[in-house]
Amino acid sequence: MPFDRELLKGSIALLILKLLSERDMYGYEIIQESVRRSQDAFEFKEGTLYPALHQLHKRGYLRSEWRTGENGKQRKYYSLTATGKKAARRSQQEWFSFTKVVNAILSKANS
């Protein structure tokens, strides 16, 4: 089922922070990983990932560095800063609380 674009847009920062809290990744890898974990359900225009990464970098949540991979290709790897780690935890908690509330409302409405 395709998700609403605004919904995806709103959650992209959370997904980036969460994935990067596990390991350093480059843009294409972030996309691959989110598609894999969502079992292909999570699809968004990949170009829009980069402005989101730059926004988080500007806020001081991410640091980046160019690294050369095994195939000789240069990739820009992103990793979380200390502030980014805090933001990742906070965003995740916020998301769980939010979805809990929304679920409670929806289940009440459905019952």
Q: State which of residues 1, 40, 72, 74 lies at the interface with other proteins (CB under 8 A).
A: 74
Q: Which is nearer to other proteins, 46 or 102 (CB)?
A: 46
Interaction of residue 108 with other proteins, rule CB under 8 A: no
Interaction of residue 67 with other proteins, rule CB under 8 A: no
Interaction of residue 3 with other proteins, rule CB under 8 A: no
Binding-site residue total for other proteins (CB under 8 A)? 17
Residues 87-109, buried b or exposed e (16+ Cβ, 10 A)? Answer: bbeebeeeeeeeeeeeeeeeeee
Of 54, 31, 53, nearest to 43 by C-alpha is: 31
- Alpha helices, DSSP H only, in the chain? 5-22, 27-37, 49-58, 82-110
Interaction of residue 46 with other proteins, rule CB under 8 A: yes
Count CB neighbours of 62 within 10 A.
Answer: 23
Q: State which of residues 55, 79, 81, 92 lies at the interface with other proteins (CB under 8 A).
A: 55
Which residues contact other proteins (rule: CB under 8 A)? 26-28, 45-48, 50-52, 54-55, 58, 73-76
